[in-house]
Amino acid sequence: MSSPLSGPLPASLARHGRRLAQGALALGLCATVVASEPPREAGHAQPIDLLTRPSPATSHGARRLLTDVAQAGSRLVAVGESGLVLLSDDGGRQWRQAPTPTSVMLTAVSFGSAQAGWAVGHDGVVLATRDGGATWQRQLDGRQADPLILAAARAQLDKLPPGNGEDPSPQRLQAEDAVAAAEAAISGGPSKPLLAVRFFDAQRGLAAGAFGQLFQTEDAGRHWTYIGDRLDNPEGLHLNGITLTPAGQVLIAAENGTVFSSPDQGRSWTKAQVGYNGHLYGVLALPGTGLTAYGFNGNVFRSLDGGTSWKPVNSHSARAIVSAQAVPGGALLLNEEGQVLLSQDGGASYRALGARLPVKRLSGVAFTKPHEIVTVGLGGASVHTVPWKRTSP
């Protein structure tokens, strides 16, 4: 039995509540967010714990909602709804299901080698495989992650001088907000999704997600450290995509047109704005110092100085750009409706390439051959030929 609160909410908790409400409206990237209360099995009063419930078996996985696909050597690994993981050893033409220990939505997958891979998803879950995706183990979820965030927030607050209790400094207000947010997350149970994962090799990687979550591992995920407090991110911007450039620079695409950059694989970070206040979903590294950031409503931006400054580029798309690939002379972008966009001038301009692919709400792409791609999305997985040919300079 609970009793009503007497008096107004503490200011820090009230501020965090507003941020939660605003952030919830912006989480469209999270494929499908389950609303209302958790599901219940017929005849059972207790909600089903999807986080610890094994993924249900299906013979139609390749037609289910899939959110991302990655290459593990010559194998393709796709992830999606209800903890679904699919494997293909023939370039995406046939798929088989791999069991996983969770039924929550998986949002992203990354491999550091042909055998070592990781998938992340709702409720802060991180899964790992050591056999190319055949079997998976849970390494982290919100029940362990939220206390790590709270400990980091309290440590930041403890570093600040007490100040004037009647009129605290902006830094102290931000720190108090972070503590209140972390405490509320623990009280509410695991719910914040992870949206991106990127491993640099078989040992070192990052996982990022909603409300500024950022975790790092240097031992293949046996231990995870919270490093979201290293970012200049007092608003708790959602972190949507992680890129590693050939030079070793790490870039995180975030909401509010923000790109976070680290030259040392996560130890220190800088922040840049592209001049746009919506979601960025990813950053593509081009030869040299060229970068292309892409996101909602076809917004594309170009940087020639490693991400310090950005200029808008006309993508000739009004739909969200969800994937990108460097090609000789430029880049291929794909939007959520399956339109391929080609640049052959280093990302300075784009044009539509052929008719759009017959897909439903595309969300992930693997470039398997020079002229062939495998897409995943609302309609499942499919193989397509891309009519791209390199032109002479």
Backbone angles phi, psi at 322, to 5 degrees: -115, -10
pLDDT (mean) for 341-355: 93
pLDDT of residue 389: 60
**Residue range 216-241: average pLDDT?**
96
- The predicted pLDDT at position 15 comes to 37
Residue 12, pLDDT > 70, answer no
Pick from 244, 248, 245, 288: which is nearest to 264 by CA? 248
Higher-confidence position of 1 and 100:
100
DSSP state of 279: -
What is the reported pLDDT for 22? 33
Domains of the chain in start order, with CATH, are: 144-189 (no CATH), 231-355 (2.130.10.10)
DSSP assignment of 349-390: --EE-SSPPS-SSEEEEEEEETTEEEEEETTEEEEEE----P
Instruction: Compute how many other C-beta atoms are within 10 angstroms of the C-beta atom of residue 156.
Output: 15
Could you tell me which residue, 42 or 83, shows the higher pLDDT? 83
Name the pTM for this structure: 0.87
pLDDT exceeds cutoff 70 at 142: yes
Residue 7's pLDDT band (boundaries 50, 70, 90)? Answer: very low
The reported pLDDT for the residue numbered 29 is: 38
Rounded distance between C-alpha atoms, residue 100 and residue 55, angstroms: 6
CA–CA separation, 100 vs 136, rounded Å?
A: 5
Pick the residue with more confidence: 333 or 287?
Answer: 333
More confident residue, 390 or 6: 390
Average pLDDT over the chain reads: 87
For the segment 38-71, what is each residue's pLDDT rounded down to a tens digit? 555 555 556 788 999 999 999 999 999 999 999 9
Higher-confidence residue of 208 and 367: namely: 208
Task: Supply the pLDDT for residue 40.
Answer: 53
As a whole number, mean pLDDT of residues 4-33 equals: 36
The pLDDT tens digits of the residues spanning 231-245 come to 999 999 999 999 999
Confidence check: pLDDT of 36 > 70: no
- For residue 175, pLDDT over 70 is answered with yes
What CA–CA distance (Å, rounded) separates 322 from 319? 9
